[in-house]
Structure 1
Amino acid sequence: RAGTIRFRGRRIDGRPAYRIARAGIGLVPEGRQIFPNLSVEENLVAAARGRGWDLAAVYGLFPRLAERRDNPGTRLSGGEQQMLAIGRALMTNPRLLILDEATEGLAPVIRSDIWACIRRLRELGQSLLIIDAGLEALLAVCDRHYIIDRGRIAWHGDGEAFRAEAGALQRRYLSV
């Protein structure tokens, strides 16, 4: 509600979503929000922008999507829809990929697949901002951690610092 948001030295707060995307930010929204009546391939092509990530690269990361390329979004499982949402965001060739609740509501085996994908993206040098309740998975994959309380950064540090204060942080900020 207040303050500014800067990305690569430029203010992006208040800008329309398409301008933020053009600035190099890709979003995998909570709830996936794929185009249900479009095929997997149509969902991916609709987001394609520039060089870098293309159909072959996304299908290489998610072979299941290649197998279902002609299926409409309505015929995909929740995990496949999440893979499609990630693939669609990658097709914009983002400098920063934001994943909002990337594993919410997914079966444990699919959750594991999504975290493996996130680790692979990290290995490829993709900048990631991940919002997720899977604390152990976050600690295993992220360099920096932030706890936001009522819109303000209440704590930040690396995984080692978090583990050192885990009990107190969980009691104060992360428990219901």
Structure 2
Amino acid sequence: MSPSKQPFFKSILTNLILSSAAIATLSPTASLAEDVIEEKTIGMELARDLATEAIKACREKGYSVSAVIVDRHGNQRVAIRDDYASRFTLQIAEEKANSTIMSGLKSGDFRAQRGDIRPELNHVNGVLIMVGAVPIIQGGIRIGALGVSGAPGGEKDEACAQVALEKLEDRLLF
């Protein structure tokens, strides 16, 4: 190759290397994402036991309810409907739990704090801003949510959910 063509090819090669480096640097997968993500989420046995305990707590007070557990992403893990609870209580319980996943708060606390946008949030598919759901936290990490529906008032639903958390708190510690 003639000496006069060497700078031209060297320039092209340098630009290709710099362009490749710039693309790699700007690529979201190269700079922001991880190839493997580890996370805590609620297991089936704990989800089942929490839902069962919430239903038992409401039964003791004379209420027939449904209890739904969703994982940290709002995916249903367990749904249990007591014998006399209407089928609609399953949907309401799940949507209450989803509002807790969305906010990180008890659904009643979220309802109280965000009255300014509550009507709009109730139009989000799969979310219902009503009292009756609590976050499930293990070791400081929200691993899911428990929603209850069917008692005469959301505060009674929430109380049953809280009883379930307290009853199984030893399984939620580190």
TM bucket (normalised to shorter chain) is: under 0.3
Query: Max radius of gyration: which structure?
Result: 2
Q: Which has the higher contact order (CA 8 A, sep 6+)?
A: 2
Give TM-score scaled by structure 1 length: 0.23
Give TM-score scaled by structure 2 length: 0.23
